[in-house]
Structure 1
Amino acid sequence: MQTSSMITQLMKVEAAPQTKLKTKVETAQTAITSYQSVNAKLKAVKSSADSLARLDTWRSLKASSNNEAVTATAAGGVAGLSGSTTFDVMRVARAQTSVLQVDTASTGFPASFTIQTGSWSDQDGNLTTDDDAFAPDGNAASTINVGSPQTAERVAAAVNSADIGIRAYVVKTGTGTGALQFTSAKTGAATGFQVQGLFDTNDVNGYTVQDTSGRDAVMKMNPGSASEYLVTSTTNTFTDVMPGVTITATQPANGVTVTATNDVSAITAKIQAYVDAANEAFNEIKTQTKYDTETKTGSPLTGDFTIRQMNQTMLSKISGGLTYSKNEYDANGTVIGTTDVNFGSLSQLGIELSRDGTLSFSGTKFESEYAKDPSRIQGGAIGFANQVKEMVTKQSNSVTDVITGRKNEIESLSGQIENWDVRLASRKQALQRQYAALETSLGKLNNQSSWLSGQLSGL
């Protein structure tokens, strides 16, 4: 007898309930993957709506300068405001530079010297003259130990090793001659220093350290008017002159005008991003819930009415027009009530519903409507985006709850499958014992049959 084959066949019958459980797990896992795919698209819609609803989106700026000596870049943000400003760049920032003429082969430099930090100030108030005076900052001077041999190169290396915000190096200017140069790591009048006690005992020319002061950049705002004033910066970059705009000067210049305007193209891109995300969500929901009438086969979520209904819910936000609530504030900025605003068709935002159940967007139409009444269009777009966020958040939460439920179901089914593993293992052992005993009995009967056949043949 082929008992092993018989046991295998019997075990298939015994395992039928477990096989059904495994099929349920596979079905649930497939559904979870589909739910997660839909949820990812819903979250993308929420993200795009959230971006459209933020105030800094509507404060996005473009900045320009009328002078090549000045560049302007817009950072935007909630504080960004459109407008223009005019100024003269009186002076650009520079780092302090101090130079000592040296014999590059000399070893007559001191074993140590000091560097005192401080700041430079203009003595006569004339921004075009070089009459700055140095004042120590009250901190103790840094002692620089040169080491041996006491050469200009060792002096430079010792300064750099001290890490006090000053770079030093030797520039060779001829055979055996050079310049030991010290430069502040940062620009500005407040990063000044004085090199004290540094000289070459072998120098017959009496060279001393010559300083070129560090300076702040200076701009004169509203030049030639009664409201002109000066603005300084330790660098050539000014960040507080215009809200949301960074201005950088490379050289003195007069009559510079920097203009910041709303970057409507950036807003247009945000609306387009929403439309694209919504259409991707529509297509994903259709894919996951479609039913093929020819093959009579469904998709993983074909029977899920809640998922199929999501498309219609989102599309109704477009087709039904927009009414939203607008907060009212008192003089202190406290919300004292709300007003319902009947915005009307979303075609004013360039968004329209296509015949195939998707959205289309016309950036040209949006920009045209925005130019007519920026405040109204901004209010409508933010109101619409907030409603979309609320709606999609609820939808996404519902899908998340379903995913959690399916995962719990899989966990329960997996436990039952494991129990069946134990049960089937025990059943297989019982069958193996039973058929082993049967084979033993059949063997004995076969032996008896053979003995009887032998006895009969001998008669």
Structure 2
Amino acid sequence: MTSSSVDGLVSGLSTSSLINQLMQVEAAPQDRLKAKVNTAQTAVSSYQSVNSRVSAFKSAADSLGQLSTWRGIQATSTSSSVSAIAVSGSTNTAAGTTTFDVAALAKSQITTAKVDTSQPITSADSITVTIGPADADGVDNSAKRKDYVIDVSKDKTAKGVMDAINAKGIGVKATVVTTGGAQNILQLSGTKTGVDNAFSLSGFDPATTNVASAQNALLTIGGGEEAGGYNVTSSTNTFTGLLTGVSVTVSKEEKNVTVAATQDIGGIADKFQALVDAANATLDEIRGQTAYNPSTNKGSPLTGDFSVRNMAQSILSVISKGLTYADPESTKDNPLPDIKFGSLAKLGMQLDQTGRLTFDREKFTASYNADPAAIQQASVAFADQTEKLATTQTTNLTSVITGRKDEIDGYNTQINDWDVRLAAKRVAIQKTYSDLEVSLGKLKNQSNWLSGQLAGLG
């Protein structure tokens, strides 16, 4: 609070300065509380930084232990013109291989008509576009076809017909092509590939020509049906049922293409690397927040917190002590001894000379290929133990953060109380000095009166 008083007019004292100095002394307890708030807030920020790293470490462990991690597949193709992509959520229970010929690509229909753009191209007030598969091999496909009646009565020129078709939005795109000759071309193109998206026209005067017929993509396996194999068709150039869990897209006709779906060991290794990276990030954060510089005698916000330092030791211990875990087949009626897996170096993980975790991808891959079941079981057990450790750590950190925030709230309440007290104290001090000025003024007046009386006697 600032003072509105005027420095002593009678005493000549700088009362504002005196009052401010006195208030600084009075405010010392509040200043100590504010310092405690700043210290606590710095500590909270440090705890939150550590907690964020531990949470990421926990998430990485959880991801490694998920069954989906160990059942992920990767898809490969022997052809650069055939892409094979593992469908999200696919598992290696669907792993397999297939070889095929790309006999045909899916195409959309293109139909053209020669037109005079300066004249009406139809005498009818409407034309009908029928979309759907034509009858074939004695099969009646009329139920799959749909008629779209398009009103062209307002403008029967090529442009008018084009605009009317495009406005209908029926899966057929119309374009007027300027050829530079006596006649131009009205081109109708299907917007989707496949025989189910073929179309025909009626009520249309100009003769039409199918430049390209709608067709499905065709893959032949084992030489196709005629050779005792089988065919696979798709209305697009993408096949989702050729190999379970894999989406295959073709872009040109070719022979002898092999697509394979195998377990994604590289993806598992990526999860291990992510866990190691998260662990190192956590250790680095803890070291930074608890560091002490002996040359400057300065510590970090959490230098004196043994519990945080102990978190780093716990993480390092999980790696260095080796792995022992309960046998998954152990039951209450048939208890089995714990499995002593031993060094995590078998999983490609170890500590280097600087205390950082390292991961050898090639070593892990070799171990996994040698005994997939054992390595998966041990890895999942390790991930489970690591996640439990991280869960305990983040729970403890969250509790500490909550406690320190409550502590800050308590300090702030006291600071607010001191604001009220100090405001009242300032008013009291100001009144004291104001009363002093009044008293001095009266004394001065009396002194002047006495001086006048004495002067009169002389």
Q: Which has the larger share of strand?
A: 1
Determine the structure 1 residue equivalent to 2:248: 247
Q: For 1:260, give the aligned amino acid.
A: A
Rounded to whole Å, the distance in 2 between the matches of 1:337 and 1:116 is: 72
The answer to whether the 8 Å contact 1:321/1:344 transfers is yes
Deviation string for 1:267-287 (max 9, x for gaps)? Answer: 333222211211111111122
| Equivalent residue pairs, number | 440
The answer to whether the 8 Å contact 1:104/1:172 transfers is no
Work out whether 1:112 is the aligned partner of 2:113. Answer: no
The answer to whether the 8 Å contact 2:105/2:253 transfers is yes
Taking structure 1 as reference, are residues 429 and 50 closer, same or farther at Cα in structure 2, changes over 3 Å only? same
Aligned residue runs from structure 1 range 32-431, under 5 A: 32-75=44-87, 77-80=89-92, 81-109=94-122, 110-120=124-134, 122-123=136-137, 135-137=141-143, 141-200=147-206, 207-208=207-208, 210=210, 212-223=212-223, 228-325=229-326, 327-328=328-329, 340-431=338-429
Determine the structure 2 residue equivalent to 1:128: none
Rounded to whole Å, the distance in 1 between the matches of 2:339 and 2:202 is: 73
RMSD value, Cα: 2.8
Q: TM-score, normalised to structure 2's length? A: 0.87
Taking structure 1 as reference, are residues 151 and 30 closer, same or farther at Cα in structure 2, changes over 3 Å only? same
Taking structure 1 as reference, are residues 6 and 69 closer, same or farther at Cα in structure 2, changes over 3 Å only? closer
Query: Alpha-carbon deviation of 1:42?
Result: 0.7
Q: TM-score, normalised to structure 1's length? A: 0.87
SS in 1 for 2:178: strand
Taking structure 1 as reference, are residues 347 and 276 closer, same or farther at Cα in structure 2, changes over 3 Å only? same
SS in 2 for 1:86: strand
Query: Alpha-carbon deviation of 1:300?
Result: 1.3
Q: Which moved more, 1:222-231 or 1:431-440?
A: 222-231
Taking structure 1 as reference, are residues 327 and 171 closer, same or farther at Cα in structure 2, changes over 3 Å only? farther
The answer to whether the 8 Å contact 2:111/2:208 transfers is no
Query: Alpha-carbon deviation of 1:98?
Result: 2.4
Gaps of 5+ in 2: 1-12
> 1:446 aligned to 412, 420, 444, which one?
444
Q: Which moved more, 1:12-21 or 1:76-85?
A: 76-85
Rounded to whole Å, the distance in 2 between the matches of 1:35 and 1:297 is: 19
Determine the structure 2 residue equivalent to 1:27: 39
The answer to whether the 8 Å contact 1:290/1:298 transfers is yes
Query: Alpha-carbon deviation of 1:69?
Result: 4.3
SS in 1 for 2:214: coil
Query: Alpha-carbon deviation of 1:163?
Result: 0.8
Query: Alpha-carbon deviation of 1:236?
Result: 0.6
Query: Alpha-carbon deviation of 1:31?
Result: 0.5
